[in-house]
Amino acid sequence: MRIGVVAPAKSIDAALADRLRTLAANSFPGVELVIDPQCYLSDGHFAGPDAVRAAAFLAMANDPAIDAIWFARGGYGSGRILAAVMPQLGPAAARKAYLGYSDMGFLMGALYARRLGRVAHGPMPGDLAREGGEKAVARALAWLARGDRAALEGGLGQRPAAAFNLAILAGLCGTPWLPDLADHVLLIEDVSEPLYRIDRLLFQLAHATQLKGVAGVRLGRVSDIQPNEPPWREPLATMLARWCAEMGVPFLGAADIGHDVDNKVVPFGLV
């Protein structure tokens, strides 16, 4: 199996890529990682200019010799290339798996909206930079290489599901890139936000007309919460229950996803 690694947002460094190759060679000998040199570029915040990141993604997506695309890391940047790449995806792109999370939700949402490929929220190579990140990366490779169900989030059930970083999902609302999530259980997570911003994002979700018809909402981990002055007193679960009630859907409890090494894989749709 050949897995292409591209960086539509921020870069990874060559040392991390070497660790990734070693892990894959030792534990997944049937996997060949094809890491685009674009992943190491730097153009301010981004892994190269928009046009270069778009070209690298398209080259991998449209290459019939690549079986899956594994996004290198998040950050910010994939939304900037959507209008350039989506009209240029060919038949080979529709046959691939795509795995990532965080900012990659822009691309994964747009792919799922057009039913291109098999899209999943899950760990990325950049997670090797976290303490204990090897287990997250191995979990992702196990799903990509052999569809290992042990890598999946444990609460996936009879309804289709989709998982997003909350801020990215809010950014997709009102755009043509947001998929139809009617009858889906929606799993959300976030990182590095104060709780008042989480509440504000939940207001947008509760009243987004494009999200009418979702079957329910589950809450992943909200980590690295930034301080609020004065302190925010409402617990996260209470916030979710309140906004779900306003949205008219059930709050279905916790989800095992987040910006951490325990992040599980959530394929979009039915598993």
How far is residue 24's CA from residue 20's CA, in Å, rounded to a whole number? 6
Instruction: Report how far apart, in Å, the C-alpha atoms of 122 and of each of 34, 48, 151, 249, 267 are.
Output: 19, 24, 9, 25, 8
Amino acid at 14: A
Q: Are 257 and 121 in contact (CB under 8 A)?
A: yes
DSSP character at residue 187: E
Given 11, 78, 121, 189, the catalytic residue:
189
Instruction: Note if 223 is an active site residue.
Output: no
The number of beta carbons lying within 10 Å of the beta carbon of residue 22 is 10
User: What would the two tokens of residue 226 be?
Assistant: 């930034």
Instruction: Report how far apart, in Å, the C-alpha atoms of 98 and of each of 1, 75, 107 are.
Output: 14, 17, 9
Given 102, 121, 153, 184, the catalytic residue:
102
Q: Name the strand (E) or helix (H) holding 6.
A: strand 2-6
User: What would the two tokens of residue 182 be?
Assistant: 């009617």
Instruction: Note if 259 is an active site residue.
Output: yes
Which of helix, strand or coil describes residue 189? strand
Instruction: Note if 102 is an active site residue.
Output: yes
Given 78, 153, 184, 259, the catalytic residue:
259
The number of beta carbons lying within 10 Å of the beta carbon of residue 194 is 14
The number of beta carbons lying within 10 Å of the beta carbon of residue 261 is 17
> What are the residues facing 218 on neighbouring strands?
187
Catalytic residues, which ones?
102, 189, 259
